[in-house]
Amino acid sequence: MSNLVDLIIKKRDGLALSAAEIQAFITAVTEDTIADYQTSAMLMAMFLQGLTEEETVSLTQAMTHSGTVMDLSSIPGKKADKHSTGGVADTTTLILAPLVASCGVPVFKMSGRGLGFSGGTLDKLESIPGFSTSLSPEQAISLCKESGLVVMGQTKDLTPADQKLYALRDVTGTVDSIPLIVSSIMSKKIAAGADAIVLDVKCGSGAFMKDLPSAQTLARQMVQIGRSLGRRVSAVISSMAQPLGLLIGNALEVEEAISVLKGETEGDLLDVSLELGSRMLLLTDAVSSVEEGKRLLRRQIETGAGLAQLERLIAQQGADISILHHPDRLPKAQSSLAVKAPKSGYLCAMDTASIGHTSVLLGAGRVKKTDAIDYAAGIRMAVRLGDFVEEGQLLGTLYARNDGLCAQGAALFTNAFTFSEEKPTQPPLILDIIEEGTK
């Protein structure tokens, strides 16, 4: 073990580790031949001293190959994937994945569960009665070959080193390290096997990255690392100054995604979905420009092709397709509470994180990974930034399993809104685009 101690000391002293040294560390983590306190010491050294781009590439590559790497070569065509760093009412996967797949680009999506106010795609889909995400890699590949789209849960042998490192980062104050975040995200995305990856990096009060410079740094590093490891990658930095959609919560977000695919709902959720989806088409050479991609995706909504692709996904994974035309068959909350504005004025700011925390309090999210989800819980927003709101006007409706939870959520939710006498400037939705070759 002395050689690993030497590596910890080397990193502690600010020296760069070689690819072989990083591989030795990750192998020890994967095989449990290093004590947790030593792994924690290395993580803290990496956190404090940082990692060079070469070190981050080596760490990502070692973590990628610490477990199974999906081989999607039997699925015809270039495969696309998308990752979001997490936000509130961020339902884009349920919209863009069917739309992109309906254009003939296979979407092989390995997703996770929600933690905190960042909702998980698996939880949203599992709110549809019967929907199963527990697929073996072989089953998932077979379904994607057949229909062009599959969504599965992350397997235990996908980047096992990352699972162990993240558990320790969470309890040692080393989560907020951009190189460690980059290697965690990109190792999973690369191991999942797609050829092209579009990253949605959220920025603002309801995001992990609160300011634009931090979001840009994260996005640039992820794009560069992805390219270094043979993937086509681009990143969209989008605003979390307010919830992306109007519905927050698992079944509620499925309802809104269906409405968008039916062409019934416009707005920020659709706009970000089109931005991300068009770039998935561009990176897989299905279109020659983002504008062409957006036009094609809009046509897939108008013709119903995107909705039909979602129906195929729901059917192939064992769920009730009748919810597409009868969303009232999705789980419904037992209690609801209308929350009214305490004063009049222009809505000039939202504490999006507080709105997200309200949804967790209502039962729509998890504080710990072992917490149960209430699929019916959530929030139906009634206002957007820039709206003029009269005192007593509806701000939103809260849904939970009992009146007590709704009452608890109401105070937190109400305090998330800031009013002013002056009409505010509308904040931009897309803050930056980081493409291949961007420095």
- Split at pLDDT 50, 70, 90, the class of 372 is confident
What's the Cα-to-Cα distance from 394 to each of 63, 318, 414, rounded to whole Å?
A: 48, 38, 11
Residues 25 and 151 placed together within one structural domain of the fold: no
**Is 184 assigned a catalytic role?**
yes
In this predicted structure, what is the pLDDT of residue 371? Answer: 81
Strands 378-381 and 394-400 turn out to be antiparallel
- Split at pLDDT 50, 70, 90, the class of 117 is low
Does 179 score more than 80 pLDDT?
yes
Name which of 127, 142, 138, 136 is nearest 314 in CA terms: 127
- Report the C-alpha dihedral over residues 383, 387, 389, 393, rounded to 10 degrees: -20
Cβ neighbours of residue 266 closer than 8 Å, sequence gap 6 or more: none
The pLDDT tens digits of the residues spanning 331-351 come to: 999 999 999 999 999 999 999
- pLDDT mean across residues, the chain: 94
Percentage with pLDDT > 90 across the chain: 89
Neighbours of 213 (CB within 10 A): 9
In a domain, residue 69? The reply is no
Q: Any idea what DSSP says for residue 55?
A: H
Decide: 74 and 141 in contact? Cβ < 8 Å. Answer: yes
Residues 343 and 290 placed together within one structural domain of the fold: no
**Is 83 assigned a catalytic role?**
yes
Higher pLDDT, 60 or 439: 60
d(CA 374, CA 359): 10
In a domain, residue 74? The reply is no
Decide: 165 and 289 in contact? Cβ < 8 Å. Answer: no
Residues 8 and 85 placed together within one structural domain of the fold: no
What's the Cα-to-Cα distance from 139 to each of 67, 91, 143, rounded to whole Å?
A: 19, 25, 6
Residues 194 and 268 placed together within one structural domain of the fold: yes
Residues 45 and 116 placed together within one structural domain of the fold: no
DSSP 339-398: EE-SS-EEEEEE-HHHHHHHHHHHTSSBSSTTPPP-TT-EEEE---TT-EE-TT-EEEEE
Catalytic residue, chosen from 90, 123, 162, 351, is: 162
Catalytic residue, chosen from 82, 109, 164, 169, is: 169
Task: Mark out the alpha helices in 103-136 (DSSP H runs).
Answer: 121-126
Higher pLDDT, 106 or 87: 106
**Is 74 assigned a catalytic role?**
no
The pLDDT tens digits of the residues spanning 137-149 come to: 999 999 999 999 9
Task: Mark out the alpha helices in 192-263 (DSSP H runs).
Answer: 212-228, 250-261
In a domain, residue 85? The reply is yes
- Split at pLDDT 50, 70, 90, the class of 312 is very high
* Integer-rounded Cα radius of gyration of the chain: 22
In a domain, residue 179? The reply is yes
DSSP 262-305: TT---SHHHHHHHHHHHHHHHHTTS-SSHHHHHHHHHHHHHTTH
- Split at pLDDT 50, 70, 90, the class of 155 is confident
Neighbours of 141 (CB within 10 A): 21
What's the Cα-to-Cα distance from 203 to each of 96, 171, 215, 413, 432, rounded to whole Å?
A: 20, 24, 6, 20, 10
Residues 394 and 272 placed together within one structural domain of the fold: no
Mean pLDDT of 30-40: 96
Q: In what order do the strands lie in the sheet with 345-350?
A: 388-389, 345-350, 417-420
- Split at pLDDT 50, 70, 90, the class of 2 is low
Decide: 223 and 186 in contact? Cβ < 8 Å. Answer: no
In a domain, residue 430? The reply is no
Q: Any idea what DSSP says for residue 334?
A: S
d(CA 74, CA 18): 35
**Is 169 assigned a catalytic role?**
yes
Catalytic residue, chosen from 79, 109, 188, 294, is: 188
In this predicted structure, what is the pLDDT of residue 116? Answer: 62
Residues 352 and 230 placed together within one structural domain of the fold: no
Residues 170 and 234 placed together within one structural domain of the fold: yes
In a domain, residue 37? The reply is yes
In a domain, residue 180? The reply is yes
What's the Cα-to-Cα distance from 117 to each of 28, 63, 244, 416, rounded to whole Å?
A: 33, 27, 13, 14
d(CA 265, CA 94): 14
In this predicted structure, what is the pLDDT of residue 170? Answer: 83
Q: Any idea what DSSP says for residue 328?
A: G
Strands 196-203 and 80-84 turn out to be parallel
The model carries a pTM of 0.94
Mean pLDDT of 34-48: 96
Using DSSP's 3-state secondary structure scheme, residue 258 falls into helix
What range defines the domain where residue 376 resides? Answer: 331-420
Decide: 148 and 166 in contact? Cβ < 8 Å. Answer: no
The pLDDT tens digits of the residues spanning 182-203 come to: 999 999 999 999 999 999 999 9
- Split at pLDDT 50, 70, 90, the class of 356 is very high
Mean pLDDT of 75-99: 95
Mean pLDDT of 292-311: 98
Residues 303 and 346 placed together within one structural domain of the fold: no
The total number of structural domains in the chain stands at: 3
Name which of 84, 92, 413, 123 is nearest 251 in CA terms: 123
Does 439 score more than 50 pLDDT?
no
Does 374 score more than 60 pLDDT?
yes
Using DSSP's 3-state secondary structure scheme, residue 149 falls into strand
Catalytic residue, chosen from 184, 234, 239, 359, is: 184
**Is 188 assigned a catalytic role?**
yes
Q: What CATH number corresponds to the domain at position 368? A: 3.90.1170.30
Q: What CATH number corresponds to the domain at position 7? A: 1.20.970.10
Residues 131 and 245 placed together within one structural domain of the fold: yes
In a domain, residue 121? The reply is yes
Residues 319 and 366 placed together within one structural domain of the fold: no
Q: What CATH number corresponds to the domain at position 247? A: 3.40.1030.10
Residues 320 and 352 placed together within one structural domain of the fold: no
